[in-house]
Amino acid sequence: MSISVDPGQLEAELERYGYSAFLLTVRDDETSHVAHMTFRFDQGNLRCPISRSAARNVEQRPKVVVLWPPHEPDGYSMIVDADCVVDENELCVTPTSGVLHRPANPSTQEGDDCEGDCAPLGS
């Protein structure tokens, strides 16, 4: 389950999660392309060096996901949905929503709802 959040909290979360994350794009054959990138935060956007494969993918499909794995055992992953464009020698990633997520505990999960294990950015 994703909970829409204001991406304005992203800069604060980057202090906890760091600037290294996985950029997920979609290839022409509709399969995933994952690139491990180092981002910098710039006026509400994430910027990173161009990956040729990612640049080719975002020119056709600009919707991307950026994923930070948990930084502690049983911790939350940070998942950010974004729009991406090639901007000169960088990729410019503009966050549109995000969520902190971890797998639901099977002993407390009710149905298919993971509400108790998802948290908006900034929590």
pLDDT tens digit string along 87-101?
Answer: 988 999 999 999 888
Q: What is the DSSP letter of 33?
A: E
Domain containing 37 equals 7-103
Look at residue 75 in the predicted model and tell me its pLDDT: 84
Task: Output the pLDDT for position 1.
Answer: 33
Q: Write down the pLDDT at residue 103.
A: 77
Q: What is the CATH number of the domain that holds 48?
A: 2.30.110.10
**1 within a domain of the structure (yes/no):** no
Query: Considering the entire predicted model, what is its pTM?
Result: 0.83
Q: Is residue 87 part of a domain?
A: yes
Listed in sequence order, the residues at least 6 apart from 1 whose beta carbon sits closer than 8 Å to its beta carbon are: 113, 114, 115, 118
Domain assignment present for 109: no
CB–CB of 46/66 below 8 Å? Answer: yes
The string of pLDDT tens digits covering residues 31-90 is 999 999 999 999 999 999 998 999 999 999 999 999 999 988 888 899 999 999 999 889
110 within some domain: no
The number of domains in the chain is 1
Decide if 119 is inside a domain. no
The answer to whether 10 touches 80, Cβ cutoff 8 Å, is yes
